Each structure stands twice: as C-alpha cells, then as structure tokens.
Amino acid sequence: MAPLFADQPVLAAKSAGTPTDLDPSWLESARHPQTGLLSRSIRPEEAAGYFAILNHARQLPLAELKSAADTFQQERLKVIRRDPDFQFYFRKPDADFPTFADLHRNSEAYHGRLVTLRGHLRRLVSSPAGENAHGLQQLHEAWLYVDGAQQNPVVVVCTELPPNIPTGSDILVDLVSATGYFFKRYGYEDRSGKPRFAPLVLAQRLVWQSRSARSEWLSKGKMFGITLGIGTLVCVWVWLVSRSSRKAGVVGTDYESQSPEST
C-alpha cells in the first residue's frame, strides 16, 4: 500500500476551522480525472496528500479525532434518517449507525472526513513508508471487516499499532477499531481476480481490545459484582436484624409500661 516516491513536496496545513480539518489541497489529487474517487494503489500525483494526511493524523490526540468523527456521524444521521433506503437500519431503537453502508453510497460526502469503524482484522502487514517529506518511517496496512459490510473490507493505513497485536496476511483479530480520514475508494482484485474496491482510511493507530485484556476486565467486573452482591446481602441482613430488634424493643416497652392495675 505505501508508495515509494522520492522528492515529495511538503504540503503544510492551511488555516482550517478546527485542528482536525484537512487542507483541501491534500484531497484534490485523490480524485481521478476519469473515475473520481476510485483508483488503484496510491498514484504518484496523490502521494504528497496521502503522506500529509497520515502525518496530520499522528499529531492530534486520538480523543480529538474520535470526537470529530462522532460529530460528523451525528450530522450524517440527520441526513440518512430522511432517506427511505436507510429506514431498515433503524428498525431497532439501539441499532448502530450504518457507517459502512453510508460511506459506500455517499462517498463524496465522506471525502476527507473522520470516521470510526469497528470490526475484526483479516490482514495486517507493515512496510517501509518510502521517501516522504514528513519523516514517516513505517506504515501499517490493515484490512478491517465491519458489521453490515457483507465481507467487504475497509483498508486502514496507520502509523502506529497497539502492543502485541497479531500481524500477517491471513489472521483473525477481533475487537479492533480505527478512527481516520476517508481518502478514496481503493481498487484491488480479490482472490478470484475480480475487480473490487474498498474505502481507504488514513488513521493514526488501531485500537485493539485483546482477549486477555477483555478477560481481565470481565474478571474484575465479575469480582466487583460478587463483592457488591455480598455487601448488599450483608446490609439487608443487618437491616432485618435491626428492624426485628426495634420491634422487639417496642413490644417490651409496652408490656413494661402496663401497670398491674391495668391487667
């Protein structure tokens, strides 16, 4: 995925509305004169913008990137709720936002915008970044499969990986997410040689909740629940004993307050 291009010009960010906004010039070259946002590999003319966006993403706090992605998702939600083609996505009150479907159908609206995607990895490989103007040494290409994508991948290129995440060209890693900028529709051939395309997202890093970390979290949660349950039972038992004692004391007082003449 990472092109080896020398003498890339430095594309500095122009003044933008927010720190997460991109310089429009970084995106212009991603538009192919004949096929628009669809093209194979990284073409020489779009390499400078490609590297500039990766460099921009790695300099921002991840929380800020996620917040901007959430804000854009809310903007898209207002749009697609009025679209009859998306009504079936919202039949359940707790339905997740159909990011992949919306991106697939409305790629122009997403161009240069931040998205967060969650799913499992089937491929994660690293390669030298090649010559670039930003000091990027190594890039990581992940094929992320998200719910509702019908086995179509999202290609994520990032500059950082979580510790100990499995890598390889044929893997299965669950509980992975990425927040990045949609750059273009990346053309490739599947195993049968059929032309396909996948959204290409340029991100700072992958986020992975490993099974060991998840098990540890669940174990801690389970222990907390057991402790809370025992504590609750003890409190109830103490309350019942105290209540019984109070009742016994009132009755005793009544008996003791009665004079011999009253009986």
pLDDT along the chain (263 residues), means of 10: 49 70 97 96 97 99 98 96 86 85 96 98 98 98 93 97 97 98 96 94 97 50 50 55 48 33 39
Query: Burial code of 26-38, b = ≥16 C-beta within 10 A, e = fewer?
Result: bbebbebeeeebe
Structural domain includes residue 41: yes
Residue listed under structure tokens 């092109």? 3
Whole-angstrom distance, CA of residue 166 vs CA of residue 2: 20
Q: What is the spatial distance between Cα 22 and Cα 160, in angstroms, rounded to a whole number?
A: 20
Q: Quick one: CA dihedral 24, 26, 27, 32, positive or negative?
A: positive
Distant-in-sequence, close-in-space partners of 185: CB < 8 Å, separation ≥ 6: 37, 38, 39, 107, 197, 198, 199, 200
Coil, strand or helix at 97: coil
Domain with 52 in it: 25-209
Q: What is the pLDDT of residue 105?
A: 95
The C-alpha angle 55, 58, 59, rounded to 5 degrees, equals: 90
Distance CA 196, CA 187 (A): 6
pLDDT at 89: 82
Is 11 a domain residue? no
CB 182 within 8 A of CB 194: no
Residue 100 lies in a domain: yes
H helix or E strand, kind and range, residue 44: none
Q: Residue 39: beta bridge partners?
A: 186
Tally of structural domains, the chain:
1
Place of tokens 């933008």: 16
Give the C-alpha distances (Å, rounded to integers) separating 230 from 76, 133, 200, 226.
46, 60, 51, 6
Q: What is the structure's pLDDT at 90?
A: 80
- Half-sphere exposure (CA, 13 Å, Cβ side) for 123? 12
pLDDT score at 3? 46
Q: How far apart are CA 45 and CA 30, in angstroms?
A: 8
Query: Exposed/middle/buried for 172, CB within 10 Å: 0-12, 13-18, 19+?
Result: exposed
Residue 171 lies in a domain: yes
The predicted structure's pLDDT at residue 10: 57
Instruction: Identify any residues that bridge with 205 across adjacent strands, giving them in sequence order.
Output: 160
pLDDT of residue 211: 72
Whether 195 maps to a domain, the answer reads yes
Return the SS3 of 214.
helix
Q: pLDDT value at position 8? A: 57
Six token digits for residue 228 = 């809370």
Q: Is residue 249 part of a domain?
A: no
- The separation between CA 190 and the C-alpha centre of its own chain, rounded to angstroms, equals 25
Residue pair 124/106 in contact by the 8 Å Cβ criterion:
no
83 occurs within a structural domain: yes
So what's the pLDDT on residue 246?
47
pLDDT value of position 258: 36
Which two tokens mark 245? 């004692």
Structure confidence at residue 198 (pLDDT): 98
Tell me, yes or no, whether 232 lies in a domain.
Answer: no
